[in-house]
């Protein structure tokens, strides 16, 4: 038998512990205290993000106290490209829960509450570079083992061993298919071809 091998590239997304920027949600909460936000993120990944600011009965506001979540754009020590200023209180038309879509860049953002007397409500959000999309194909290869005759055809059977590696997102799955139109199936062990004829093994 004569064996042919073809490879199909597959792509992925690089690993990102903080989640991909496109679906990143950052949440701040406030309540009765005027000296601190009840919760706030410390880090984020550069790129698109949904900012959630909630100051409601659900987050501990029992007095109707208004608060703001404001990103400073006037301090040269911090990023100034997100002009965010959200005023929230339990009695507003959003029930104290507001969202905003922003794009973050690497660096530090200083946030605070602008309500008089609430100056202690402040913090810093540190934004790092994101992993982004992995557009480099994995390295794939196949090795064929078996006895061959003088014409190069395999005698009895041929064993195909497939390997793959990827320095970006890693290899999630290796698959193979027999024939030009065969269905893809998981590669879990070397593939043995033992029927007389010309065969194609595809892998990805």
**What is the average pLDDT score of the chain?**
88
Q: What topology does CATH give the domain 21-128? A: Immunoglobulin-like (2.60.40)
Helix (H, G, I), strand (E, B) or coil at 21: helix
Half-sphere exposure in the Cβ direction for 46 (13 Å, CA): 11
Burial of 159 (0-12, 13-18, 19+ CB in 10 A): middle
Render pLDDT for 9-60 as a digit per residue (tens, 0 to 9).
554 444 444 444 446 999 999 999 999 999 999 999 999 999 999 999 999 9
Residue identified by tokens 């706030």 is 40
Q: Where in the chain is the domain with CATH 2.60.40.420?
A: 21-128
Render pLDDT for 125-168 as a digit per residue (tens, 0 to 9).
999 987 666 667 888 999 999 999 999 999 999 999 999 998 76
Give the separation between CA 136 and CA 47, rounded to whole angstroms.
21
Give the separation between CA 122 and CA 71, rounded to whole angstroms.
10
Query: Does residue 187 register a pLDDT over 60?
Result: yes
CB atoms within 10 A of CB 135: 10
* All residues at 6 or more sequence positions from 8 whose CB lies less than 8 Å from its CB, including other chains: 202, 203, 204
pLDDT band at residue 7 under the 50/70/90 scheme: low
CB atoms within 10 A of CB 114: 14
């Amino acid at each position: 038998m004569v064996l042919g091998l073809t490879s199909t590239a597959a792509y992925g997304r690089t690993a990102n512990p903080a989640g991909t920027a496109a679906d990143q949600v950052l949440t701040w909460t406030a309540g009765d205290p005027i000296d601190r936000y009840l919760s706030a993120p410390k880090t984020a990944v550069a790129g698109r993000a949904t900012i959630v600011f909630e100051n409601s009965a659900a987050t501990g506001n029992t007095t109707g106290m208004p608060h703001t979540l404001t990103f400073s754009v006037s301090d040269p020590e911090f990023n100034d490209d997100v002009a965010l200023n959200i005023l929230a209180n339990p009695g507003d038309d959003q029930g104290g829960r507001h969202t905003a879509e922003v794009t973050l860049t690497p660096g530090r953002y200083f946030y605070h509450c602008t309500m008089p007397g609430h100056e202690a409500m402040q913090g810093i959000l540190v934004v790092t570079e994101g992993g982004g999309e992995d557009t480099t194909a994995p390295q794939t290869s196949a090795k064929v083992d078996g006895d061959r005759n003088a014409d190069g055809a395999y005698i009895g059977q041929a064993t195909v061993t497939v390997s793959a590696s990827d320095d970006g997102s890693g290899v999630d799955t290796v698959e193979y298919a027999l024939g030009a139109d065969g269905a893809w199936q998981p590669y879990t062990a070397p593939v043995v071809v033992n029927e007389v004829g010309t065969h194609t093994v595809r892998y990805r």
